[in-house]
Chain A
Amino acid sequence: GIQVEQSPPDLILQEGANSTLRCNFSDSVNNLQWFHQNPWGQLINLFYIPSGTKQNGRLSATTVATERYSLLYISSSQTTDSGVYFCAVVERGFNKFYFGSGTKLNVKP
């Protein structure tokens, strides 16, 4: 199956700082999503972004499908941004989702 790697594994930020999270994948994909897992365990959909760029408030994401990576940008971070960010992909021709191991973000006040 497709390999999904996220970096960095851990990230500590001061409130107000910006950050970039990366997701690399090993093959062509039909689907790429970013999720935020909050401290209660719930997975929140951030972006559905198999290609191109999207923005939602302080968050934006870019996927360069031809180079097999996606970036999640968090600007002016807040303590509520803390949690784990997961990238998930669906390999072209299949219907199974593959998850990266996540980036654990801790935003300090």
Chain B
Amino acid sequence: DGGITQSPKYLFRKEGQNVTLSCEQNLNHDAMYWYRQDPGQGLRLIYYSQIVNDFQKGDIAEGYSVSREKKESFPLTVTSAQKNPTAFYLCASSTGRSAGELFFGEGSRLTVL
């Protein structure tokens, strides 16, 4: 089935450790996005990529890094510089055209102990 796969679904990490969240899509979409959601809040854009080997910062990029080496993959690294990393992280993709429909993965819950 076509879709977006995020892993892991749940992740615990100690303060000071980097962690990488995986996002893979088989929809042949050009654009991919990472959002952060805090409890009871809306979605905030971390990074997005409209084409392979290119990406742009969103509204809350500090403390995060991404890469886009393959069309189907857009991993997000939460670095130790991110002051409040505990959150729900959602990956999404679209065709990349401004009228393209957006689809989401199931999300990854990160808890920093």
A contacts, CB < 8 Å to B: 30-31, 33, 35, 40-43, 45, 48, 50, 86, 88, 90-97, 99-102
Are B42 and A41 interface neighbours, CB within 8 A?
A: no
Are A42 and B99 interface neighbours, CB within 8 A?
A: no
B contacts, CB < 8 Å to A: 31, 33, 37, 41-43, 45, 48, 50, 58, 88, 90, 92, 94, 96-104, 106-107, 109
Which residue of chain A lies nearest to B98 when distances are taken between CB atoms in the complex?
A30
Are B33 and A101 interface neighbours, CB within 8 A?
A: no
Centre residue among A88, A95, A96 by max chain B CB count within 10 A: A95
Q: Which residues of A contact B88 (CB under 8 A)?
A: 41
- Residue in contact with A97 in the complex, picked from B41, B50, B102, CB distance below 8 Å: B102
Are B99 and A30 interface neighbours, CB within 8 A?
A: yes
Are A88 and B107 interface neighbours, CB within 8 A?
A: no
- Residue in contact with A96 in the complex, picked from B43, B45, B106, CB distance below 8 Å: B45
